[in-house]
Structure 1
Amino acid sequence: MWIAKNTVLKPYTDLIQQSWHVNIVGENTCIYSKDEGTPEGIRYHAFAYEDRMDFQGLNLSEGRKGVSVVNIQDLLAELEVPQKEQPDFDAVTKSAAIYSRTQDNRDRFYLLVDENSKTFYVMELFM
């Protein structure tokens, strides 16, 4: 991955807002990140937070009801994310998915929240 000289880097949560119209409100720190290095493809991020987080623009479901765990596991395997960096799916307390941001209906956004460990996970697929 390369970065152009004099580029101002925005927080990743700003890019999520621009791409998916999801506003992530609250202090957070990215603790793990991996992507395919291209504009299209898979992106995965894990964030830690200390206080309450608000995910504006998403309808959160209780537990992992809002997402396809198998789809997320397949994407994590394709990215070769180490097991210790993956979500504990049994500990997920809230989840949400967006299945398209364009008319072709192939792009995906998944959010998993583990309120007990104060961690949230974002998985994106751009086709």
Structure 2
Amino acid sequence: MLKDAGYKKFDDVDALADRTPMWDANWAVVKQVPEGGLPLAYDDVVRLEVMKKDDTEIRALLTAGSPVLARILQRDADCEKRQQGEEQRRAKAANKLLDCSKPTFEITSETWRIDAATGTSPARFMRGM
């Protein structure tokens, strides 16, 4: 947004640790010096304190109306929903394994009769007596 307005000099500083922001897409601005709305020449340096969007501390520093915060909170909710679904699936699978109310196999017995071979006829196997 600042680049689109004609500003060219930025000092990106990690607000949390000694990391170097390499790819803008996974970082969010949590503080700007000078603050927005103050007069600024196009050749002045704008200091942007940034944090990775995955940093848990970022939630406390973003304003309530921030679209970045809204996306982070939506991502958190989606992740929580997926985790709950996975836990329910695992619990259901575990309960299915422990459910002894329905037999998982059936034991049957059968009787076979064997007629001995005679002459040129082979032995015959017949179910039942």
TM-score range, shorter chain: under 0.3
Q: Could you say which structure has the larger radius of gyration? A: 2
State TM-score, norm by structure 1: 0.22
More strand by share: 1
More helix by share: 2
State TM-score, norm by structure 2: 0.22
